[in-house]
Structure 1
């Protein structure tokens, strides 16, 4: 394991190999994570979603997601994770364009396929970060620069992959409408039938189309969208838990806390404490 820890003992950035970390058991990280699959295949589980993967591939995990692999054979992988206090992706959105693309996207599979050349490039970047850890005078500036390149490369590949998919995949107009309706009405409409009625289709048709198009049921997407908004408010604002519950239209903060913990296995207070409040939250108050 190679990592950098803050003076207060906070994990800032680190790299672990499959010999150091067992991802066949459920884990939750307080940091953003990249899992570089060198070789092997299996199923990647992230919260309530799962999908097949074959290396070489990059997988992504947002803070406090429950993730694990299932596989019949050993998988060779490298894990790179970083805390938002070390590198704020919201503050660097123009440089890396990863928020809402690699992370915090409930509609897209959190992964990208890699060519052998791309695998080599990411492996070299990881080795450079490892080398920097060995330096007694290891520089945060240098580590952030390497991380920024890593994030930017991932985003570039993901965007190109999506462009190809958009060309080769038939658009489902109803599902694109569902996506827009969900983003607009997730605070007030919480039942699949609400959206089925707006789309002028049956709940059964909505469910089948949603699973085929997004890989999730409508109920999963509705829940994921509400949880995503809660995470944003906890991370990107200084609102109290009571204020956040009010903004999300829960009856009270206790009901909101029970809902959040049921979905994430963490209380809103713990999520905020471990994940931190983004510097963006404080900049917006100036």
Structure 2
């Protein structure tokens, strides 16, 4: 374990290894996390979504997602964790292009499949970053530079793989319409049949297509979209819990808090306390 801690004891940036850090049981990390699977296979769970993987591959999780790996078989991995207070992916949006691609996207599988050469390159990057973490004379700027390279490379590989997939696969126009509709109407439409009616398909057809295309039911996507927005507002604004509940069109803050905790296992205030309020929240003030 090699971690740099903040004034309040939180991990700002750190590296963990599979021999000393288990992902067999559900865990909620306060940091953005990149899991480099060197070899082996298993089923990765991130909140209520899950998928099978085999290494080498990169897996991702956002702060306080409930994650674990089931059915691990000869799996070796390295975790790279970083706190939003140490490196804000919103501020560095143009440099790393990872927000909405690697993190905070309810439609994409949070993974990047690696070639052997790419796996070797990431191993070398993490090795150098680990050396900097051990070196007491290393600067924050150097650590951020290595992290930025890791994130930028992850985003580049992810985008290229998506482009290749798009070139050989046929888009489901109804599901693309559903995606756009959900992003537009998630505050007011909370039932799958409401979306099915607008899309002129049956609820059963919507469910089957959604599971095949996104790996999630329409209900999961609707809930995930609301939770994603709530997390953004808790982290990226200084609005009170009551104000956030109002903006998300909940009847009251208590109902919002129950809804949030049901789907994240943590209250909105506890989420904000652990993740913190981003520097972005104060830029427009």
TM-score, reference length from structure 2 = 0.99
1:8 & 1:265 partners in 2: Cα distance?
A: 23
Matched-pair contact (CA < 8 Å) for 2:43–2:72: no
The structure-2 alpha-carbon separation of the partners of 1:158 and 1:72, relative to structure 1 and needing over 3 Å to count, comes to: closer
1:269 & 1:138 partners in 2: Cα distance?
A: 35
1:38-71, CA deviations, whole angstroms, 9 ceiling, x for partnerless residues?
0001110111010010100000000000001112
- Which residue of 2 is the match for residue 64 of structure 1? 64
What are the residue-to-residue correspondences of 1:213-228 with 2, within 5 Å?
Answer: 213-228=213-228
2:203 & 2:156 partners in 1: Cα distance?
A: 37
1:168 & 1:278 partners in 2: Cα distance?
A: 39
Matched-pair contact (CA < 8 Å) for 2:230–2:248: yes
- Which residue of 2 is the match for residue 111 of structure 1? 111
1:242 & 1:229 partners in 2: Cα distance?
A: 15
1:122 & 1:73 partners in 2: Cα distance?
A: 22
- Which residue of 2 is the match for residue 279 of structure 1? 279
Q: What are structure 1's unaligned runs of at least 5 residues?
A: none
2:72 & 2:94 partners in 1: Cα distance?
A: 41
**Runs of 4+ that moved beyond 3 A:** none
2:6 & 2:175 partners in 1: Cα distance?
A: 45
For residue 44 of structure 1, give the secondary structure of its aligned residue in structure 2. strand
TM-score, reference length from structure 1 = 0.99
Does structure 1 residue 233 correspond to structure 2 residue 233?
yes
- Which residue of 2 is the match for residue 89 of structure 1? 89
- Superposition deviation, residue 73 in structure 1: 1.9
Q: What are structure 2's unaligned runs of at least 5 residues?
A: none
For residue 271 of structure 2, give the secondary structure of its aligned residue in structure 1. helix
For residue 71 of structure 1, give the secondary structure of its aligned residue in structure 2. strand
Does structure 1 residue 179 correspond to structure 2 residue 193?
no
| Alpha-carbon RMSD | 0.7
- Which residue of 2 is the match for residue 53 of structure 1? 53
